[in-house]
């Protein structure tokens, strides 16, 4: 089926203004690279999400949920399915007492800022992680010694049978940059984070300190997806990459950042292939020199990916 055909058929289930056929994924991912998706569907409510899922299943199409695309690269061949974006109700952030209730499509830095305004401490680490709450829970995103699993109290999900379930931390298999959502076909709908009362000035000082640290250490002037590899048990991925002499290594338009070797940046109109090939080169070199296996932190989407 072509993107236009999907868009036509999908318009029975979703208002046409929320259906976008043949979309360049470079516009939906922070790497600013990659091929087209056949169709992007934006859903504002659980009802719309259910309708789109009914449609994709009926037509045997694959789908992926995409947050802000800050930890994702789409191959140049594109994605032969429907990319579902959670907007509208899913972007809500509500603070009740010391609980922060977020839709899965809500901005994590916004949730961190709003929490700070309400004198709630615990999300400062997340103020510079530029994704959605859903993406962050899936990746168990973290920084400065804290991670999502430290604050997540419960998560509402949709399972593949269409049932809504509430999961608690012990059911989410949280580990370093890992959760149950990396292997189970659950769609995260909403999360409740539990924070602690704190001092607004102290919280804001911490956020400011982390922001400055990111600015001074990370190559934020180029499109990127954060750290490209997980830290292996042997140490820091960036240190192995630096020691292997790969700082400033180019492949096509992609470069291993010389400011922070854990980042690959889109320095000069890189294709997704440039980035993925450079990742392979880094992995092979580090393995050759140190017998250390680097595992990607980012999700790679290509033909045949998705549910
Ligand atoms: C400049 C920069 C700095 C960064 N710093 C950090 C950092 O300090 N720490 C860190 O951990 N990461 C960091 N990242 C990476 C990234 O921001 C995080 O991993 C973030 O949590 C990803 O969220 P997202 O919405 O962009 O996810 P996406 O890239 O959109 O998606 C990531 C994965 O989650 C899945 N997903 C998204 N939403 C849902 C949902 N509702 N239900 C089920 N699955 C879902 C997607 O299918 C995909 O597999 C950084 C990235 C950048 C660009």
Q: CA–CA separation, 126 vs 138, rounded Å?
A: 14
Tell me the per-residue pLDDT of 2-42, one tens digit each, with 9 for 90 and over: 999 999 999 999 999 999 999 999 999 999 999 999 999 99
Looking at residue 306, what is its pLDDT? Answer: 74
Please state the φ and ψ torsions of residue 102, each to the nearest 5 degrees.
-125, 140
The CATH number of 92-203, from 3.30.465.10, 3.30.365.10, 3.40.630.30, 3.40.50.280, is: 3.30.465.10
Specify the CATH number of the domain 220-298.
3.90.78.10
Top CATH class of 3-88 equals alpha beta
Q: Which residue has the least CA distance to atom 37 on ligand 1?
A: 135
Tell me the per-residue pLDDT of 65-120, one tens digit each, with 9 for 90 and over: 999 999 999 999 999 999 999 999 999 999 999 999 999 999 999 999 999 999 99
Q: Where in the chain is the domain with CATH 3.30.43.10?
A: 3-88
Contact in structure between 197 and 120 (CB atoms under 8 Å): yes
Contact in structure between 81 and 61 (CB atoms under 8 Å): yes
Closest CA to 228 of 287, 177, 183, 288: 177
Looking at residue 305, what is its pLDDT? Answer: 81
Q: Is the CB of 266 under 6 A from ligand 1?
A: no
- The preferred substitution site among 108, 109, 139, 259 for testing ligand 1, maximizing ligand atoms within 8 Å of CB, is 139
Q: Is the CB of 301 under 6 A from ligand 1?
A: no
**At 53, is the pLDDT very low, low, confident or very high (cuts 50, 70, 90)?**
very high
Q: Is the CB of 296 under 6 A from ligand 1?
A: no
186 CA to middle of ligand 1, Å?
16
């Amino acid at each position: 089926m072509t993107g236009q055909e999907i868009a036509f058929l999908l318009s029975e289930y979703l208002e046409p203004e929320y259906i976008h056929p043949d979309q360049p994924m470079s516009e939906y991912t922070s790497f600013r690279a990659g091929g087209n998706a056949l169709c992007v569907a934006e859903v504002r409510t659980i009802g719309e999400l259910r309708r789109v899922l009914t449609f994709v299943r009926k037509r045997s199409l694959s789908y992926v949920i995409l947050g802000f695309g800050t930890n994702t690269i789409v191959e140049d061949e594109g994605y032969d399915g429907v990319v579902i974006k959670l907007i509208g109700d899913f972007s809500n952030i509500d603070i009740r007492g010391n609980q922060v209730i977020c839709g899965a499509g809500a901005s994590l830095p916004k949730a961190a800022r709003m929490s700070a305004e309400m004198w709630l401490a615990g999300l400062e680490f997340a103020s510079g992680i530029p994704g959605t709450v859903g993406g962050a829970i899936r990746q168990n995103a973290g920084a400065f010694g804290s991670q999502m699993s430290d604050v997540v109290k419960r998560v509402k999900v949709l399972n593949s049978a269409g049932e809504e379930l509430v999961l608690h931390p012990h059911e989410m298999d949280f580990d370093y940059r890992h959760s149950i959502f990396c292997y189970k076909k659950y769609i995260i709908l909403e999360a409740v984070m539990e924070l602690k009362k704190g001092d607004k000035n102290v919280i804001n000082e911490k956020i400011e300190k982390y922001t400055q640290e990111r600015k001074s250490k990370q190559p934020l002037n180029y499109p990127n997806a954060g750290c490209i590899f997980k830290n292996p048990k042997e140490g820091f991925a960036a240190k192995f990459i630096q020691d292997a002499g790969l700082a400033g290594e180019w492949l096509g338009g992609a470069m291993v950042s010389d400011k922070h070797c854990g980042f690959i940046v889109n320095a000069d109109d890189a294709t997704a292939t440039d980035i993925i090939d450079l990742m392979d080169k880094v992995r092979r070199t580090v393995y050759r020199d140190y017998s250390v296996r680097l595992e990607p932190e980012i999700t790679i989407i290509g033909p045949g990916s998705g549910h």
